[in-house]
Structure 1
Amino acid sequence: MDKAMTKLGSFWVSKKAKEEISHITNDLSSFSNTVEDKAKLFINKLKGKTQKALPDLLRENNLPPGLFPRNITCYEFDESKGKLIVHLSSPCEVCFKDSSIVRYSNRVKGTLSKGKLIVIDGMKTKVLMWVKVTSVYVESYKSDKVWFTTTGVKKSRPKDAYEMPREAIKVEEF
């Protein structure tokens, strides 16, 4: 009986140690990404390259400027390829004016062009349950709707609900 209890105890300690190591590894990776992102911004500032605010970039592309939270860390945009990467300090979520909720990973990637952000990775919305957002688009400049496409479902929401960037609430996991 004592041998069985000892084995069970060491299994539990081993499992807890693996979980703790996994958490430490994730924290170090997140810290490393944040340092790298800040270094890129610093180098660009030294070179005299200034970056417009993310809400301005979204507005120029006919998307609501409040699509992402106010408290982003930074973003990268490759204009030639339309690749957008938005960095946040941790997974978070925002409740918008229309009561819709969007959850963001600490890194959201997508392809940005006029009126749409497609091939999104790192964004979810709550529709009975959390579902991955694959694209966000506005059909025309004058449209008062923004469309969220999730796995197999298109949902329109009022564009004005996303006009102002809102403060995000940190969540434990994406």
Structure 2
Amino acid sequence: MSMLLLLLLLVPFITPSSQSSIRNLLEARGLPGGLFPDNVESYSLDDKTGELEVQLQNPCFARFENRVYFDRVIKANLSYGGLVGLEGLTQEELFLWLPVKGIAVNDPSSGLVLFDIGVAHKQISRSLFEDPPVCYPPGESKFVPQNVLVFNAKCFIYW
């Protein structure tokens, strides 16, 4: 009886968090574990279709090489080494915010992660994705602009 009580007390401390779970899932699929921010609330994966849905506590800005914006819900098709059909992630490039359509690790030995931003493919050092980035709501960080409006997480306006 006392062993059962001890086990029940320890379960909350040994149960993996959503962040460590998504990290483990990504790493098992050949992707870096820090692709999603530190505010992951939950995720679901359909093993048959590979459809992945990640729920964040709130939409937010983070930084890898450039600033990125995560919607509250990010969807993609997860396969080994890639996220395709990505929805809910936007990256700043030369003052333009472009939707990230896919993320891939084509050659793990290269140390590069490939971001498909539609008009181009951007290669980013895998080392930037070792740990989940800290994610800030608009206006709550020195690298997140105070004067940004977000419309449907697709269009950003500076003033």
TM-score, normalised by the number of residues in structure 1: 0.66
- Residue number in structure 2 paired with 1:82: 50
- The answer as to 2:82 corresponding to 1:119 is no
Q: Residue type matched to 2:82 in 1?
A: K
- Residue number in structure 2 paired with 1:107: 73
- Residue number in structure 1 paired with 2:129: 162
What is the percentage of aligned positions where both structures have the same residue?
28
Q: Distance in 2 between matches of 1:139 and 1:126?
A: 23
Q: 1:135-146 to 2 correspondence within 5 Å?
A: 135-146=102-113
Q: Residue type matched to 2:41 in 1?
A: T
- Residue number in structure 2 paired with 1:58: 26
Q: Distance in 1 between matches of 2:128 and 2:90?
A: 17
Q: Which runs of 5+ in 1 are unaligned?
A: 1-49
Post-superposition offset of 1:80: 1.2
Post-superposition offset of 1:89: 2.2
Q: Which has more strand, going by share of residues?
A: 2
Q: Distance in 2 between matches of 1:65 and 1:113?
A: 14
RMSD: 1.7
- Secondary structure (helix, strand or coil) at the match of 1:169 reads coil
- Residue number in structure 2 paired with 1:34: none
Q: Distance in 2 between matches of 1:62 and 1:143?
A: 13
Give per-residue Cα distances to partners, 1:108-161, cap 9 Å, x unaligned: 000000100000011111111110000000112323000000122110000110
Q: Distance in 2 between matches of 1:110 and 1:127?
A: 21
Post-superposition offset of 1:53: 0.5
Q: Residue type matched to 1:113 in 2?
A: S
- Secondary structure (helix, strand or coil) at the match of 1:102 reads strand
Q: Distance in 2 between matches of 1:143 and 1:72?
A: 28
- Residue number in structure 1 paired with 2:5: none
Deviating more after overlay: 143-152 vs 105-114 = 143-152
- Secondary structure (helix, strand or coil) at the match of 1:57 reads helix
Q: Residue type matched to 2:52 in 1?
A: L
Q: Residue type matched to 2:92 in 1?
A: K
Post-superposition offset of 1:82: 0.4
Q: Distance in 2 between matches of 1:101 and 1:58?
A: 21
Q: Distance in 2 between matches of 1:57 and 1:93?
A: 23
- Residue number in structure 2 paired with 1:95: 63
